[in-house]
Amino acid sequence: MAKDRNSTVVFWVFLTPVLFAFVMVIIIPFLLGVFYSFTDWSSSAGSGAGLKFVGLANFVQSFTDPAFIYSFIVTFIYTGINVIVLNVVALALALIVTSRLKFRNIYRVGFFVPNLIGGLILGYIWQFIFNNAIPALGGIFANPDNLVLSKSATSVAALVIVGTWQYAGYIMMIYIAAIESVPQELYEAAKIDGAVGFQRFIRITVPMIAQAFTITMFLTLVTSFKQFDVNVSLTAGGPSTMFMGKPIFATQLLALHIYDTAFAANHLAMAQARAVIFFLVLVIISTLQVRANKKREIEA
Amino acid sequence: MKQKRSAATLVLEALALILFLAYLIPFALILVNSSKDAFAVTANPMALPKDPGLIFKNMVSIWTNNNIAYPSSFLSSIIITVLSVVVLNLLCSQAAWVLVRTKTKFSQLVFLMFVGAMVIPFQIIMFPLLSWFREVTAITGIGLLRTRFGMIFAYLGFGLSLTVFMFHGFIKAIPYELEEAATIDGNGKFGVFYRIVFPLLSPIHATVIVLNGMWIWNDYLLPLLVLGKGNRVQTIPLAVANFAGAYVKQWDLMLTAIVMAIIPIIVLFLAAQRYIIKGIVAGSIK
């Protein structure tokens, strides 16, 4: 009996601090956040006083706002391209550093280094490269009209380049771990059967690392969709362009759009409603992705 | 046959080398250009610096610049990162242990809630978190906004889901007999945890330290919201962003600030490379 009481005491002593932080930092703000999205919440209002319930007004208005629709579209485009480019580059890098090259360990570390540095700082580095270093190459690059960050399409491409450069080394590490765990006998057997390099890659490596694809796809999808730091420091949403007859920011991804709706436009309740939409979409696409990959994993 | 293979290997070797150099060019560029004065940076970013020693002069001017407040930002970044990581490791390993070893519906539910919360994006929490923290401060008088304490508390909240999850997975694999034996030897619950279990956790502690440490050191949005722009307490990413806003085109100083923000991470990485790479891979596969 005494021992049981002791267990209970330790249970609560060990669990309470974490549970307390969880409720204070995650649960309460999350519930408040969902609640606020149905109100006219503003920065001047406290967390209860003087709030008016407005139903779905914030959501309806969001879907008629060209800036939000555009931000949604550009986020999907960015995410789609980034997931593909990132995984292709990461897999290629992983194949390179797992082959019998002399300096493979140094390459491995080199490709990984950008990942150590925060997206904010990486964005500034590349802003310098796109705005100053590349024009200094002269020729067509020197023409101010050809600045990478001055046009919508190339700005999105710039975000993909930096996003890939930052994250490919990390995804590469996951592919390396998967590739190195493929039994060597399989390759030897394939060799005897006369399979050459590319066939071996498609028939053995790809199916054997299917589980890694589930992880890398999930990670790249979610991080691309949530991209914020690089967006802030590289383009800050610019350049401006027109959409549905209204001037909007050409590279304002959703996370930045939500932030700007709250602080630049000062529509807190509206930003909160868009964050709720962002959350729902994120849940849906990540569930769909994991399900699709799991299915392929089993088939393979 | 042999000839052909070595030719292919040679091509791959050259390709890898080119890729490797291309990958690191951005770092070379900022290093080269932070060794120049403002005029030389804008005149030709591709030229080599005339006086490489200039980087130290630029570093001194960053170090003493009141706008970026590098020394105090650096100190705050270290305090916030180290304390958050220590708190996360201690509290989450304790919590994970009692959650694993107490087989009740309640502990299962708590664990599921922790894990489930990982899908909640930061964006949905961030605005209400601010007004909620303001409210709590107004009621209790404990400063949560604009303070290091508030940052550390927030990092405990945002980091605990993944941290508890990782400890939970590791502790499950530790044989319970070990703990029973320790109990028979006369250890209380605290003794069992701190004498027996805690030392066994070192590999997972290392992984968690790396994952949380890198995240917190590089994080920008949470400090931006909790500490605010231009506050007395700033972290390095916040200070760099602030500096960028104030000195838009002063790339010589801006790049030096970037170099100085990167150096501590690279030094730490080279010192603990093995743990960091292992920790990151382990963290992703979980």
Domain boundaries, chain A: 59-299
B86 and B212 assigned to the same domain: yes
pLDDT at A21 > cutoff 90: yes
Which pLDDT value is given to residue A1? Answer: 40
**Rounded to the nearest 5°, which phi and psi values hold at B141?**
80, 0
Asked if residues A11 and A253 have their Cβ atoms less than 8 Å apart, the reply is no
Residue B163 and residue B41 share a domain: no
CATH value at residue B123: 1.10.3720.10
Task: Return the ∠ at Cα B218 (arms to A179 and B148), rounded to 5°.
Answer: 140
* Backbone φ and ψ of B248, nearest 5°: -45, -55
Report how far residue A205's alpha carbon sits from residue A186's, in angstroms, rounded to the nearest whole number: 9
Question: What pLDDT score does B2 carry?
Answer: 46
What is the pLDDT, as a whole number, of residue B226? 95
Q: Which residues make beta-bridge pairs with A39?
A: A53
Whether residue B76 sits in one domain with residue B37: no
CB B179 within 8 A of CB B101: yes
User: How far is Cα B281 from Cα B286, in angstroms, rounded to an integer?
Assistant: 9
Query: Given CB atoms, is A15 within the 8 Å cutoff of chain B?
Result: yes
Indicate the average pLDDT of chain A: 88
Mean pLDDT on A258-277: 91
The answer on pLDDT for B223 being more than 90 is: yes
How far apart CA A159 and CA A154 sit, in angstroms, is 9
**B254–A104: do the CB atoms touch at under 8 Å?**
no
Mean pLDDT, range B48-76, rounded to an integer: 88
In terms of domains, do B198 and B235 share one?
Answer: yes
Q: What pLDDT, on a 0 to 100 scale, did the predictor assign at position B286?
A: 55
Question: For A53, which DSSP code?
Answer: B
Name the CATH superfamily, with its identifier, for domain A59-299.
MetI-like (1.10.3720.10)
In degrees rounded to 5, what are phi and psi of residue B6? -70, -30
C-alpha dihedral (A202, A208, A210, A211), degrees to nearest 10: -160
Is residue B137 assigned to a domain? Answer: yes
User: How many separate domains does chain B show?
Assistant: 2
- At A48 the pLDDT is 54
Average pLDDT over residues B248-277: 85
For the ranges A39-48, A99-108, A240-249, B58-67, the lowest mean pLDDT is seen at A39-48
> Which stretch of A139-148, A275-284, B228-237, B263-272 has the lowest confidence by average pLDDT?
A139-148
Contacts of B57 (CB under 8 A, 6+ apart): none
Of B212, B225, B237, B227, the residue nearest B123 (C-alpha): B225
With CA atoms as reference, report the closest residue to A249 among A58, A57, A75: A75
Residue B140: inside a domain, yes or no?
Answer: yes
Mean pLDDT of chain B: 89
**Do residues B256 and B34 touch, judged by C-beta distance below 8 A?**
yes
Residues B50 and B169 in one domain: no
The predicted pLDDT at position A238 comes to 81
**Do residues A126 and A161 lie in contact, with contact meaning Cβ atoms separated by under 8 Å?**
yes
Contact state of A279 with B117 under an 8 Å Cβ cutoff: no
B41 & B176 share domain: no
Q: What average pLDDT does the segment A159-181 reach? A: 93
Query: In terms of residue numbers, what domain contains B122?
Result: 70-246
Percent of chain A topping pLDDT 90: 55
ipTM of the complex: 0.90
Q: Is the pLDDT of residue A27 over 60?
A: yes
Average pLDDT of span B173-195: 89
Please give the angle made by the CA atoms of B46, B47 and B52, to the nearest 5 degrees: 120
Scanning A44-103 for CB atoms below 8 A from B yields 46-47, 93, 96-97, 99-103
Q: What is the mean pLDDT of residues A96-115?
A: 88
Q: Are B50 and B82 found together in one domain?
A: no
Cα distances from A206 to residues A199, A289, B64, B109, in angstroms, run: 10, 18, 54, 38
pLDDT at B1: 42
In this prediction, residue A3 has a pLDDT band, given cuts at 50, 70 and 90, of: low
- Whether A99 has a pLDDT exceeding 70, the answer reads yes
- Contacts A114 to B, Cβ<8 Å: 23, 26
Interchain proximity A28–B132, CB inside 8 Å = yes
Q: How many CB atoms lie within 10 A of CB A42?
A: 14
Average pLDDT rounded to a whole number, residues A154-159? 96
List of residues 6+ apart from B272 with CB closer than 8 A = B210
In chain B, which residues have their Cβ closer than 8 Å to the Cβ of A96? Answer: 12, 15-16, 19
Closest-CA distance of chain A to residue B121, Å: 6
Compare A206 and A70 and report the one with higher pLDDT.
A70
Give me the percent of chain B exceeding a pLDDT of 70: 96
Element (H, E) at A255: helix A254-263
pTM for the whole thing? 0.91
Best mutation target, A121, A254, A260, to test chain B (most B CBs within 10 A): A121
Which range has highest mean pLDDT (A77-86, B33-42, B66-75, B130-139)?
A77-86
Residue A122 has pLDDT above 60, yes or no: yes
Task: Give A190 or B72, the one with higher predicted confidence.
Answer: B72
Could B153 and A21 be called an inter-chain contact, meaning their C-beta atoms sit closer than 8 Å? yes
Angle at A136 between CA A135 and CA A137, to 5 degrees: 90
C-alpha span between B281 and B279 (Å, rounded): 6
**CB of B271 within 8 Å of any CB in chain A?**
no
What is the distance, to the nearest Å, from the Cα of residue B147 to the centroid of all Cα atoms in its chain?
A: 19
Structure tokens at A100: 């019998």
CA distance A257 to A261: 6
Asked if residue B148 lies in contact with residue A45, where contact means CB atoms within 8 angstroms, the answer is: no
Contact B215, A94 (CB under 8 A): no
**Residues 136 through 175 of chain B touching chain A, CB cutoff 8 Å:** 136, 153-154, 156-158, 160-161, 164
Taking alpha carbons only, the member of A157, A166, A179 closest to residue A92 is: A179
Q: What's the distance, CA A12 to chain centroid?
A: 37
State yes or no: pLDDT of B75 exceeds 90.
yes
Do residues B47 and B142 both lie within one domain? no
| Residue of chain B nearest A280, judged by CA positions | B120
DSSP secondary structure string for all residues of B171-233: HHTS-HHHHHHHHHTT--HHHIIIIIIHHHTHHHHHHHHHHHHHHHHH--HHHHHHT-TT-SS
